[in-house]
Amino acid sequence: MTRKEKYQFVINYFEKHAPDAETELLYDNPFQLLVAVILSAQCTDKRVNLTTPVLFAHYPTPYAMANATFDELFPFIRSISYPNNKTKHLIGMANMLIHDFKGEVPMTVDELVKLPGVGRKTANVITSVIDAQPNMAVDTHVFRVSHRLGLTTTTATTPLAVEKQLIKNFPTELIHKAHHWLILHGRYICLARNPKCPQCGLTEICNYYRKVIKK
């Protein structure tokens, strides 16, 4: 099977079984999604979703968050991983939104990565989810699933290398959706330690299944 055929198999599968795949983070506007994605670094979406309703009630806008002190904001995200750093990032991010972007969340990766707490992965999430831009955020799930399936080569040893290969091979109009396909598949089926291969509809084209499980 060629790589092109493998990608088409994956596309056909997910368009049938997960046509409406989307982020599991809860948000009402770009600012809320930006906050949620910053909080989600090395933390589960479930934990973030338990935390953000009260946080957003107290700090609904960049202006409200920018005026918060560390001691005021910290208790709201105490249960999140790395709360000290993330408290500083949120306050710094809100201030930069106000001073550099007129209180609006920018919609380019280059602008977003200037914000405290925002790396390339977070910027790709924001632009793909909010604006359906063809950007691929590569987290541990996307990295693992793409390698196991054989969507990426063994030479793609960094998130950026994986990102470039996935963007090159997925049709442009599907990249923002493919991001969610791979994340959710890794989160619920293609688990790191005990992948649920019997429940997976992609074993037919999966390198990992052929080499490790089936042999």
Give binding residues for [4Fe-4S] cluster as ranges: 190, 197, 200, 206
Amino acid at 100: D
| Per-residue tokens: 53 | 């309703």
Contact 8, 171 (CB under 8 A): no
Please tell me what DSSP assigns to residue 76: G
Instruction: Provide the annotated active-site residues.
Output: 121, 139
Can you tell me which residue has the tokens 């904001």? Answer: 73
Contact 73, 62 (CB under 8 A): no
Q: What is the CA radius of gyration of the chain?
A: 18
* Residue-wise DSSP of 2-33: -HHHHHHHHHHHHHHH-TT----S--SSHHHH
